[in-house]
Amino acid sequence: MLVPCPMLAAFSVSPTLCALGAVQVLCVAAAGFSRLAEGTRFEQGGQWLCLAALAVVGTACGIAIQLGPDTAAACAATLALVTMITVIDVSPRP
């Protein structure tokens, strides 16, 4: 007789939510890259990449509203995080 193991419970995750999560992670990484590229020859490319990341995560927020309040809140938090990475200046002042 087979007894189901409660530890092997399968989770049903939508591919749309997985894609949305991947987009959020990539946008935060792009913002981090743009911050690290300051003062190097990659600075302008990093700025354009960060601008594109802001546009992508903003669009994802608009799409996520249709998927439910939890998904929209996660996207809004990512948008706020990417914006803060972009705007806050943490370099030491001379």
- pLDDT, tens only, 1-28: 555 555 555 666 778 888 888 999 999 9
Nearest CA-CA partner of 22 in 75, 84, 88: 75
Query: Is 63 part of a structural domain of the chain?
Result: yes
Are the CB atoms for 24 and 75 separated by under 8 Å?
yes
Residues 6 or more apart whose CB falls under 8 angstroms from that of 1 comprise: none
Query: Is 37 part of a structural domain of the chain?
Result: yes
Tens-place pLDDT, residues 56-84: 999 999 988 998 888 889 899 999 999 99
- Angstrom distance (rounded) from CA 50 to CA 14: 27
Query: Is 92 part of a structural domain of the chain?
Result: no
Range of the domain at 29: 19-87
Q: What is the pTM of this model?
A: 0.78
Query: Is 93 part of a structural domain of the chain?
Result: no
Overall domain count for the chain: 1
Query: Is 14 part of a structural domain of the chain?
Result: no
Query: Is 9 part of a structural domain of the chain?
Result: no
